[in-house]
Structure formats: C-alpha cells, structure tokens
Chains A and B, each alone.
Chain A
C-alpha cells in the first residue's frame, strides 16, 4: 500500500461540464501520473508530474489539464467533459530509484 487515494471514486457528469479528479499520496513521492483505462487500450498516460508545479503531457493529453501545487496532491481536470472521456482513471506514484509504479484505487467517470 503506497498510501494513494483518489476522489471521487465514482462520478456521473453531463457533457460540457468541468470535472476535477483528485489524487492524494502520503509518502512524498516526487513523480505522480494520471492514466485512463479503456477496453482494448490498456492504460494510457494522460499527464505526469515530476515535482510541485512541474508537469508534462502524456500520449492522450488533449482535453485534460493537471495541477500540482503541493507534493501530495495531483489534480486532473477535464475542462469540458465529453462522452469519449468516460473511462476509469488511475493515479500512480513512481518509487524513486526503483521506477515501479503504485496505483490508486481508480475513479470511474461516466459522461452522459
């Protein structure tokens, strides 16, 4: 257990509304990641962070933004949710020097 929580765990929202998902960690890891998981696609990286205020895009970043104002929190925002963003979203931390990632429990987001 790497002390990672995600909130909310489930959310239903309407097309066009902004949505923010939160990832919280308790162990001061520098690197944090947001993925989405869709059938047939595995996990795809949306954005990642390598420190407070330091973020970069992953392979599926369009329509998403992130912020990291504190080491322990990494926020993912869907600026204007679309049905194609219906997915399960996982947050992860990377263990420094080890490179393995540990994942939060996931957030199931449905955009209607």
Chain B
C-alpha cells in the first residue's frame, strides 16, 4: 500500500531538548516536503527536497533542519525546540514537484502533533 508514515504521531517535549520527527515513503518518490499547520495560518512549508542530498528552504525554515540521505526518508530535526514550534506537522511526497503530471498526486502523512513546553 502506498503510504507516507510519520513518527511519532504525538510528542510532548521541553524547550531546548533536541528531537527528530521521522518521515518515510514507500513509493520511490523524488519530491518530499515538510509543512506545519497552525490555526488561522493554514499550512506553511518548512523545507522540501527534490531528491537525495538536494534540500531547500520553504516559507518558514527557521529553527528546523532536514536531511535526505536516502530517497525514502526525510527526517525533520528541531535542534533546540521552542514553544512557538508547537504545531501540527505534515510530511508529504510526490513523484516530482506538485505531484508530477496531472495524473499523479501528492501523498501526505497522518501528521505529528508537537507540544513544546
């Protein structure tokens, strides 16, 4: 089954304690991306990756890091989390940017709800 998995699904942590949210896809997709969702602000892109070892900043990259060492994995790293990073995070993948051709689509993970105290 085609899917994007994220772990953990829920996380409570304290300010400054490094954490990693994993994202994995089983569709051999080249494009992967991280978003955060906050009430009234919609979705905002954090980082994206066009392929292995190719990453770039989205709209709100401050305080986050990513890596893409393998095609299937795209972890999101918060080196020193702060309360303003409390949010709902989504990972997504697609054959290429925008879901590829018109018949291809983008797949989203189930989300990770993070609370930073």
Q: Do A and B come from one complex?
A: no
